[in-house]
Amino acid sequence: MNANDMVNLMQVLGAHNEDETTCAPSEIQAGKYKSSAKPNMQVAVKKADDKKAAEKPIWDDTEFKAQSGVITKEEDDRAVPEYEILFQQNVGAEDVYLNLGQRDGSSDHCTHIIIKITLPNTKMKDISLDVLEDRLMLQGPKHRLNAALPYKVKKDSGDAKWDALKGILAVTLPINQKVKYYTKMEELMTSKDD
């Protein structure tokens, strides 16, 4: 930003009075120009009333409903276990070295979602797992989990593996994603007409 830009910006913001004579950019750079902005200007800061914000939530529990129709109740005192959501791609040597499949590292090209849930001191027989199209729900004696999934999944085609030594449940779900990539503009135009 040069000196002329600064003068124009000051005019737009109203910091330049019409009464003063305009100075050349060389005067501004030399420090001869005085700003018309008031020094040490006092600004009043408005504080939000914390009591009002704490009293009323943004929405009621009856108003909030997940897309899958599942409503969770907060009366449950079981802990939410640690979990992580990972993405998996089916990549071969032709994709890595030659990029023949035109894949990249984004989640757009992933085929599966892997959810790893840590459940210490839990037995497999005590775990109840439900997979919906956009949500994973787990019930255990000490833990409960109701996690939203980043993509819609094929709920009946999943796989779950239990590692009893580590206490980790790994749930693998195929993504139900229909993405069509266009390489030519003509393909895009003809598909919209169909």
Q: What is the pLDDT of residues 76-89, one digit of tens each?
A: 788 899 999 999 88
CA distances from 163 to 62, 69, 112 (A): 38, 31, 20
| pTM of the predicted protein model | 0.56
Q: What is the pLDDT of residue 143?
A: 93
Strands 112-118 and 135-139, bridge-based pairing: unpaired
What does the buried/exposed string (b/e) look like for 185-194 if buried means 16 or more CB atoms within 10 Å of the residue's CB? eeeeeeeeee
Token readout for 57 is: 């939530």
- pLDDT classification of 69: cutoffs 50, 70, 90: low
DSSP states of 18-43 as a string? SSSPP--HHHHHHT-PPP-SPTT---
Q: Which of 60-69, 100-109, 161-170 has the largest mean confidence?
A: 161-170
- The answer to whether the beta carbons of residues 111 and 90 sit under 8 Å apart is yes
Q: Which pLDDT tens digit goes with each residue over 145-188?
A: 999 998 899 988 999 999 999 999 999 999 987 767 777 788 77
Indicate the CATH number for domain 52-194.
2.60.40.790
CA distances from 102 to 90, 107, 168 (A): 12, 13, 34
Residues 78, 137: Cα–Cα separation, whole Å: 13
What percent of the chain has pLDDT above 70? 63
Domain boundaries, the chain: 1-43, 52-194
Average pLDDT over the chain reads 77
Radius of gyration of the chain (CA): 30
- The answer to whether the beta carbons of residues 88 and 113 sit under 8 Å apart is yes
- Cross-strand bridge partners of residue 85: 115
- The answer to whether the beta carbons of residues 99 and 108 sit under 8 Å apart is no
- pLDDT classification of 62: cutoffs 50, 70, 90: low
Listed in sequence order, the DSSP H helices in 72-117 are 93-97
